[in-house]
Amino acid sequence: MAAAICLMAAFDESRRELGAGDESRSLDAFLRGVERRALRMAELATGSRDEALDLVQDAMFGFVRHYGGHDGAEWPPLFWRVLDSRLNDWHRRQKVRGRWSFRPDDKDTDEDPIALAPDAREPGPLARMADGEATVALDAALRGLPLRQRQAFLLRIWEGLDVAATSVAMRCSEGSVKTHLSRALANLRRALEAHR
Amino acid sequence: MNLPDSKQPDSKQLDSNRPDDDRWLERAKALLDDSAGNLDAATLSRLNRARQAALATRRKGPSRWAWSAALAGAAAAVFAIAIGLHHQGGVPLGNPPPTLQAGDIDVMTSEDDLDLAENLDFYAWLGKQPAGGPSG
């Protein structure tokens, strides 16, 4: 009986290995689909392509190791969660090394409600810029955001995660996601309008 | 600010506080997409290597180890069964109890586990034979 159990376990392992081939292909397709955006996200956070590549590679390893066996539908928020964790760690290390540059904090600012009042005639802060100029301005504005606001903006607006998935990725409440995003939109608008 | 849950929200679904948010957010998304789509070949190559390296850690897995452990377990189990069947067949009281001989240790620890596993039928048959040895 014990021998049969051992052989069945080995057989089961070989079957699992065959299934792992399909899983590897799915993982490969998933990572291929997100890697470029992940790199840009990390680049905006670090300001360095080399550091961004290292962080993305680290995130891929962590994701595959910890979440590769999860259902494919769960992968997007989990991958971004791993990358977000790596970005947070990177920022913490920078802070410890004393290379932390000043960024606007997440605290509420005394915003002038008149200045923030919508103007229906205004086409938007990026509308009057050419693509090249707009890209540079957007990059600068995104880099100027605090990490959490930038992550909320990129995950929610660019990556298209819903509030719940973004809260999983950022390990915070859904209310915090909405707050970070609202502040990110206000700060981005202000930065881009100033750039014009 | 009340953002509805949806899998792929576009900026129109965002209850943003500006009427023109839709337009500039669409533009921002398009610019970000362009920047991600226009990465240079060297960067793409590094991304590809990083992805393959990450996937390789999953492909390795524990299969080789699992097979070895299973075969070693199977070999030990076969010996245990053989000894048990030998006892059931009736060992004369006068005989000393069977003990593990040095030769048995060699077999159990040898690298011939694979052969042993492939001949499980033979060892099962052997275990069923009377103590005096197989007849015929």
The pLDDT tens digits of the residues spanning B116-125 come to 565 666 566 6
A29 contact B CB<8A: no
CA–CA separation, A8 vs B51, rounded Å? 33
Nearest to A3 by CA among B97, B118, B128, B126: B118
- What pLDDT, in 10s, does the model give residues A81-93? 999 999 999 999 9
State the pLDDT confidence band at A17, using cuts at 50, 70 and 90.
low
Nearest to B17 by CA among A146, A188, A24, A3: A188
The interface residues of chain A toward chain B in range 113-172, judged by CB-CB distance below 8 A, are 116, 118-120, 122-127, 131, 134-135, 138-139, 154, 156-158, 160, 162-164
- A8: pLDDT strictly greater than 90: no
* Sign of torsion over alpha carbons B5, B11, B17, B19: negative
What pLDDT was estimated at residue A99? 56
- CA distance readout (Å), B103 to A3, A73, A131: 21, 55, 80
Between residues B130 and A26, the one the model is more confident about: A26
CA–CA separation, A170 vs B7, rounded Å? 16
Between residues B25 and B19, the one the model is more confident about: B25
State the pLDDT confidence band at A101, using cuts at 50, 70 and 90.
low
Q: Shortest CB distance from A49 goes to which of B2, B3, B43? A: B43
Q: A49 vs B8: CB contact, 8 Å cut-off?
A: no
pTM of the predicted model as reported, rounded to 2 decimal places:
0.62
